[in-house]
Chains A and B, each alone.
Chain A
Amino acid sequence: MNTTRYKYHNPFAGIDRTLLWLYFTLVIFGWLNIYAAVYDEIHKNIFDLQTNYGRQMIWIATSFVIAMAILLTDVKLFNSFAFFIYGLVIVSLILVLFVGKEISGSKSWLQIGPISIQPGEFAKFATNLALASYLGNIKRNFSKAGVKIAAFSIILIPALIILAQNETGSALVFLSFILVLYREGLSAKVLIAGAIIIALFVLALVLDKYILIGLCALILLVYYLTRRNRKKLHWILIGIFIATSSITFSVDYVFHNVLQPHQRSRINVLLGKETDIKGAGYNVYQSMIAIGSGGFWGKGYLKGTQTKYNYVPKQSTDFIFCTIGEEWGFVGSLILIGLYVGLMLRILQLAERQRSAFSRIYGYGVASIIFAHFAINIGMTIGLLPVIGIPLPFVSYGGSSLLAFTILLFIFIKLDAHRHDII
């Protein structure tokens, strides 16, 4: 009796060990690689506070404290305070637009004393909380249009503000919430339409727009002719045709008139239309050299020349995967990818066993955000996606990113620990 009571009151009871270990592994692995990326003969001490790895150690310690704090918090508070936190973040996001510090072209940093923080990073978990809180409410029926609009608004408001800060990468991450909505009953057609639009977007950049429109017309015509039941179908198809044509033209317009020159050339490099290994393509080129030169077993810890000698830019933040690929090789990359896949699958598995909708939705949100970061970041370093500067969760150097992801994950761990409670 005594023991169960004790267990019941233990704030750490019910914590998922798997997630905890995956988290620790990624954070420590990240730290070691930040050390390797920045390592030089002068600052050999891994605890040197003048360097990225020294500072990252402080962030790690801070994260542990915050993780502990979350685990000690009353679990009901997350739902109750979801919109309060969301509002707070939105306000600070707007604040950044006016008083923010501009670092390499994007105005997304808030300077508080000696440290700069990036509210955009915290917007992810705040939005996730708000979305979970909104949709998790038993009164809300997702099939209603009003609820859908509200849900999309919760996602898009912070995304648009972040876009205004010139942080395209972070804004794109918010699109991953569509996966959450899909789990909550969003029609698959929306996902398919989204996929088609993305495909169109890419094709519009590669092919001539008139050829592309012609091609669409042909496909639709063939579809129309092969169908028996053509009632009203022609109207739908004409509608689709108009939609695709306008997308094609608007992509063309957006690409040439809206995108910044550096974004245009990044996309062109990726599509192989531009080969500029000294300019826009330099980052990716050097990054691919780093990873590719790692070989099967890697060059060995602290022996990567590409990253250590600064050939790869941002080698401890957005391009940290280069260090891993170079020094740990294919085996190391495989293990890292395995860790992420394991992390995401475990989160989804845990999310499915939640009794409360709030926890489930929140869990899906966590997995989606991690997935977006993981996919975009690694895709970028190996030249599959355009250069979009977002960190690799838990691994990249950066206080805001590490803290935000820690909060994101540990709220879920806490929620999961209390899955039997009513939240």
Chain B
Amino acid sequence: MAAIFILKLFYMQVISDKYKILSESNVRRIVTIYPARGLIYDRNGRKIVSNEEAYDVMVVPRQVRNIDTAELCQLLEIDMQSFTNRLNKARQYSPYRASPFVEQISKTTYGYLQEKLYRFPGFFVQPRTLRTYPYPIAAHTLGYVGEVNQKEIESDPYYRMGDYIGKSGIEKSYEKELRGVKGEKIVLVDVFNREKGSFENGLYDKPQMAGQDLITSLDLDLQLLGEKLMMNKRGSIVAIEPSTGEILAIVSSPSYDPNLLVGRVRGENFKRLSQDPLNPLFNRSIQATYSPGSTFKLVNALVGLQTGAITPESRFYCNGKASLPIACSHSHYSPLELIGAIEQSCNPYFWGVFKTTIEKTGGGDIHKGYNIWRQNVMSLGFGNYFDTDIPNQVKGNIPSSQYYDRYFGEKGWKALTIRSLAIGQGEILITPLQLANQAVVIANKGYYYPPHVVKSVQGKPTRWNKKQSSIDSQHFETITKGMYRVFQGVSGTGRWYKLENIDICGKTGTVQNPHGKDHSLCIAFAPAENPKIAISVVIENAGFGATWAVPIASLMIEKYLTGKISRTELEERMSQANLL
């Protein structure tokens, strides 16, 4: 008998590994320590995204045994059916690994549960942090955090089921910096799942690394004002610091409170928001494309000057409403030279510029002429994404000559065929971000930095490559004079909204569109000498550029440069207006 025992013991203790492994899996529980996600500040160090404590009930399905299901259901406020479903889901993921069972239980529930947890082997509470937004602003740009999906788990082994990941906005583009590094603690638990101490005094524990904080380029006050002005309007405001490409404010309206897409309520709210006919989840600043309208006349003027097709003194006749092939919507003396034409936004003038540019540079070859024009246009940042920290941008469209070849045949088109481009209508599509960047390039007299939202990561400044446009700086000076007159000139389209001590340069746009009233557009930068802010404003279906976009741009500029609004009545009127 003793011999049999010894043989059996020899097998169990010395030969077989099975029991050793089983004994370890019995007592060791790996507790993941989630570091707090990095905080996000505005450019002046004010917190715009922070964290709050949350508690998830986790389950290791294999360890669940002999529990009072009814009592647990009651504690967690779920029904039996839901209990079974959740357990099955967890089991499907892994019977040995912890997966979330009920997320974000209340502090009260947590208190009750902690006391009784020993009676529910296999269950434990995982503390973690959730996003919270002290100001309900810049929802699209900040983005949101959600649970990883299967695809994300498969593509990055860092993630486990139930982990959170930045899904959009800068939460997505700075995910690696914000998330930090998860830590791991191996604890020993007894049969009742109570923690009994650390394993080997924590020798095999992995320390967690806190997420890195971001300082964004956003100016909280300016962003708040922008969101206020855009209430009950469809459209966008993008304000950029020209010398750096830092985005000061980026508003897409209608928007939503980012607090709605946090934690347990996210799924439900997301569904509700995505079904909203106003489409608040749509980020108009970078995803909506518009014809640029009259703001594009500046681009045509720049290309004309650069290619030598026109000089600042060139004049083109205007017959007012009788002009051909494009009528003029303003009444002014004729012919105007360039600066006056910009001030008055004369359509026939810019048709002249466009036609001359394409025909003269091409030397009769429409393809050559058009391609040179297109290259110059694209060097200003149009027709492509910015290589920057803003995910999910769209390209917009500066059509290629092949596009027109396909449409009209290789010999079937000339400048006249595509005359709409002269005044920023037709096939050209731009995003509000690209439009703001246009103002930046003009303000900088020829260069820009890709517009970006984050200034520094944990104190380390972000770096961006300077982009030089193909247009020489003296040409920018010329058109800047015209833009100066738009606000400061006696007949400028923006003259009603000039500021007392600050000179604004800008250009309005009224964009026809087949879906309703005209879109109201405007670009501007200020002060004229040494610009500190460049801005684009797009208000959909609002009417004239001068009526809506200009005053909003003017208020934003005033706020940013002076820190206050003197025209409170105008601010009231703009923010109260409902243009939906």
Contacts and interface: CB of A to CB of B under 8 A. Distances in A.
A325 interface: yes
Given A293-B23, A326-B23, 14 more contacts: A278-B66, A291-B19, A292-B12, A293-B19, A295-B13, A305-B188, A306-B27, A308-B196, A309-B191, A311-B27, A311-B190, A330-B9, A371-B1, A384-B4
23 contacts: A286-B26, A289-B22, A289-B23, A289-B26, A291-B12, A291-B13, A292-B13, A292-B19, A292-B23, A293-B19, A295-B14, A306-B26, A309-B188, A309-B191, A310-B192, A311-B191, A326-B23, A333-B13, A337-B2, A337-B5, A337-B9, A371-B1, A375-B1
B20 interface: yes
Given A293-B23, A305-B26, A311-B190, A288 B12 contact: yes
Contacts of B2: 337, 340-341
A59 interface: no
A3 to B, nearest CB: 42
B203 interface: no
A239 interface: no
A288 B12 CA distance: 8
Nearest to B64: A278
Interface in A282-297: 286, 288-296
A204 interface: no
Interface in B189-206: 189-192, 196-197
A290 B65 contact: no
List 7 tightest A-B contacts by C-beta distance, closest first: A292-B19, A309-B190, A293-B23, A292-B12, A330-B13, A305-B27, A310-B191
Contacts of B197: 41
A334 interface: yes
B188 to A, nearest CB: 6
- Chain B CB count within 10 A is highest, among A289, A341, A379, for A289
Contacts of A340: 2
A374 B26 CA distance: 28
A337 B6 contact: yes
A330 B27 contact: no
B467 interface: no
B19 to A, nearest CB: 2
B411 interface: no
A375 to B, nearest CB: 5
Given A305-B188, A311-B190, A330 B10 contact: yes
Contacts of B18: 292
A329 interface: yes
Contacts of B4: 384
A403 interface: no
B8 interface: yes
Contacts of B8: 382-384
A178 B575 CA distance: 103
Interface residues of B, number: 29
B513 interface: no
Nearest to A305: B27
A255 B2 CA distance: 29
Contacts of A330: 9-10, 13-14
A310 B14 contact: no
A350 interface: no
Contacts of A310: 190-192
B197 to A, nearest CB: 8
B87 to A, nearest CB: 15
Given A291-B9, A384-B8, A309 B27 contact: yes
A131 interface: no
A334 B192 CA distance: 32
A367 interface: no
Nearest to A331: B13
A46 to B, nearest CB: 19
Interface in A25-73: 41
A292 B15 CA distance: 9
B22 A329 contact: no
Contacts of B19: 288-293
Given A305-B188, A309-B188, A329 B12 contact: no
B16 interface: yes
A378 B1 CA distance: 10
Chain A contact-residue range equals 35 or more
Nearest to B28: A305
A382 B20 contact: no
Contacts of B22: 289, 292-293
A291 B22 CA distance: 11
Contacts of A289: 19, 22-23, 26
B27 A296 contact: no
A314 B191 CA distance: 13
Interface in A62-119: none
A35 B197 CA distance: 19
A333 B16 CA distance: 16
Given A278-B65, A278-B66, A292 B6 contact: no
A290 B191 CA distance: 13
Contacts of B10: 330
Contacts of B196: 308-309
A329 B13 contact: yes
A295 B18 CA distance: 11
Contacts of A383: 8
B21 to A, nearest CB: 8
Interface string A374-406: 110011001110000000000000000000000
Nearest to B20: A293
Contacts of B6: 333-334, 337
A292 B191 contact: no
Interface string A332-351: 01100100110000000000
B5 A382 contact: yes
Interface string A292-327: 111110000000011011110000000000000110
A309 B26 CA distance: 10
Contacts of A371: 1
Interface string B174-197: 000000000000001111100011
A341 B197 CA distance: 39
Contacts of A291: 9, 12-13, 19
Interface string A244-279: 000000000000000000000000000000000010
Contact of A294 (B13, B24, B191): B13
A384 B4 CA distance: 9
B62 to A, nearest CB: 10
Contacts of A334: 6, 9
A218 to B, nearest CB: 29
Contacts of A308: 190, 196
- Chain A CB count within 10 A is highest, among B16, B23, B65, for B23
A379 B5 CA distance: 7
A202 to B, nearest CB: 15
Nearest to A311: B191
Nearest to B21: A293
Contacts of B24: 293
Contacts of B66: 278
B23 A290 contact: yes
